[in-house]
Amino acid sequence: MKHFAQSELLQKLPKQFFASLVTKVENVKAQGHDVINLGQGNPDQPTPSHIVEAMQKAVANPRYHKYSPFRGYSFFKEAVAAFYEREYGVKLDPEKEVAVLFGGKAGLVEIPTCLLNPGDLVLVPDPGYPDYWSGVALAQAEMAMMPLRAQNHFLPDYNEVSKDVAEKAKLMFLNYPNNPTGAAASKEFFMDTVSFAAKHDICVVHDFAYGAIGFDGKKPVSFLQAEGAKDVGIEIYTFSKTFNMAGWRVGAAVGNESVIAAINLLQDHLYVSLFGAIQEAAACALLSSQESVKKLVSLYESRRNTFIRALSQIGWDVTPPAGSFFAWLPVPNGWTSEQFSDFLLEKAHVAVAPGIGFGQHGEGYVRVGLLTREERLEEAVQRIAKLGLFHVAKK
């Protein structure tokens, strides 16, 4: 059989670091071990029943058995606008400032192709979500990394961006609540971001994937709540985390009219929008009671508290995440993040994600997903305790 070579573009795509983690976990499982997998980011709770029921009813509607409108149904975009006004006080034009997405990831990967030419520069958080890199590679653009450091609460310091890089950059990715660090951003930070972007003519793309998941009574801030945000960028909202609809592949881009137009134009050539029944179920999720969201956030906060308390009891000093469903844990001295992750998997049968997979400044940390029962989180900590890596300080 003839082998057809892949294009140079595909060959230049970044390696999928976490595919190797999945393989390692499966190999340990195949040996008969009970692995507590805290290395993934796949929500473990079901989609709320009222959303499922809305979908079940909508599937039977012949209206949705035909092609959807290219740019999505107006009722869905109106629901997105209503959600943003209710939750964040942000007014959106449903037709000009909302684009329907096949999940948040699709929008994040599409954006560089929509706005950049080969060789253009993108500011990317480090550590950060690796699919930002994929979109940049597909657009044949270049990256300049913005370090996220503990001493700056895992926020980029725009004073660190050189004048030359700032002037050349055309796009910037941000993500708060943050994956992988669990850090949160304030409205003041987003106001600084708007000023920086306006000064240097940079389009901001705020990945608001964990927009519903904030702890300690603090609601995560939308980038669009900062004055002037729509002038300089967009926000991408996914239903995967807020409504446990990860497998449904539905999201929205909101904000700057010209960027929304570019996304719509690209998607005109790629898709014929989402299945209408999914759009109807998504509208139901946005417009109906948000009680299920409150319960979900409470569940994650309880898991966080249980996990962090257990870590403290074995002498592992960590900062509790402010949002998202991840914890960002410093590795012991003398270990790389990948060595430590491999050791935990081999000796404790606990899987975590090495920080290096999120960028060079992720080195020295591992990411844990709070996506299993509290008893399993506590068991994972007890297994790690038996390795003798941590010690409780004597008072």
Which is it for strands 350-351 and 36-37: parallel, antiparallel or unpaired?
Answer: parallel
Contacts (Cβ under 8 Å, ≥6 apart) of 29:
35
Judge if 53 and 40 occupy the same domain: no
Looking at residue 394, what is its pLDDT? 63
How far is residue 389's CA from residue 368's CA, in Å, rounded to a whole number? 17
Q: Per the domain annotation, does 3 fall within a domain?
A: no
Nearest one of 337, 369, 280 to 78, comparing CA atoms? 280
User: Please, what is the end-to-end C-alpha distance for the chain in angstroms?
Assistant: 70
Looking at residue 174, what is its pLDDT? 98
Residue 388 Rama label (left phi>0; alpha psi -120 to 50; beta)? left
Judge if 152 and 206 occupy the same domain: yes
Which of 256, 287, 318 is the last residue before a domain boundary? Answer: 287
Which of 267, 287, 307 is the last residue before a domain boundary? Answer: 287
Judge if 173 and 27 occupy the same domain: no
Judge if 152 and 53 occupy the same domain: yes
Judge if 253 and 309 occupy the same domain: no
Judge if 69 and 166 occupy the same domain: yes
Q: Print the domain residue range for 38.
A: 8-46+291-385
Looking at residue 99, what is its pLDDT? 98
Q: Per the domain annotation, does 79 fall within a domain?
A: yes
Which of 287, 309, 333 is the last residue before a domain boundary? Answer: 287
Judge if 273 and 313 occupy the same domain: no
Q: Per the domain annotation, does 109 fall within a domain?
A: yes
Number of domains in the chain: 2
Looking at residue 371, what is its pLDDT? 95
Judge if 372 and 243 occupy the same domain: no
Q: Per the domain annotation, does 2 fall within a domain?
A: no
Contacts (Cβ under 8 Å, ≥6 apart) of 15:
none
How far is residue 318's CA from residue 341's CA, in Å, rounded to a whole number? 17
Which CATH number covers residue 71? 3.40.640.10
Buried b (16+ CB within 10 A) or exposed e, 136-160: bbbbbbebbbbebeeeebbbbebee
Cα 341 to the center of its chain, rounded Å: 21
Judge if 29 and 145 occupy the same domain: no
Judge if 32 and 91 occupy the same domain: no
Q: Per the domain annotation, does 391 fall within a domain?
A: no
CB-based contacts of 118-121 (< 8 A; 24+ apart in sequence): 120/170, 120/171, 121/165, 121/168, 121/169, 121/170, 121/171
Nearest one of 157, 112, 109, 116 to 130, comparing CA atoms? 109
Q: Per the domain annotation, does 1 fall within a domain?
A: no
Task: Give φ, ψ of 107 to 5 degrees.
Answer: -65, -40
Judge if 119 and 153 occupy the same domain: yes
> Would you state the torsion angle of the CA atoms of residues 177, 180, 181, 183, taken in this order, to the nearest 10 degrees?
0
Q: Per the domain annotation, does 395 fall within a domain?
A: no
Can you give the pLDDT of all 395 residues of the chain as single tens digits?
Answer: 999 999 999 998 988 777 888 889 999 999 999 999 999 888 999 999 999 999 999 999 999 999 999 999 999 999 999 999 999 999 999 999 999 999 999 999 999 999 999 999 999 999 999 999 999 999 999 999 999 999 999 999 999 999 999 999 999 999 999 999 999 999 999 999 999 999 999 999 999 999 999 999 999 999 999 999 999 999 999 999 999 999 999 999 999 999 999 999 999 999 988 999 999 999 999 999 999 999 999 999 999 999 999 999 999 999 999 999 999 999 999 999 999 999 999 999 999 999 999 999 999 999 999 999 999 999 999 999 999 888 876 65
Nearest one of 351, 354, 347, 353 to 376, comparing CA atoms? 351
Q: Per the domain annotation, does 309 fall within a domain?
A: yes
Which CATH number covers residue 376? 3.90.1150.10
DSSP for residue 255: E
Judge if 168 and 76 occupy the same domain: yes
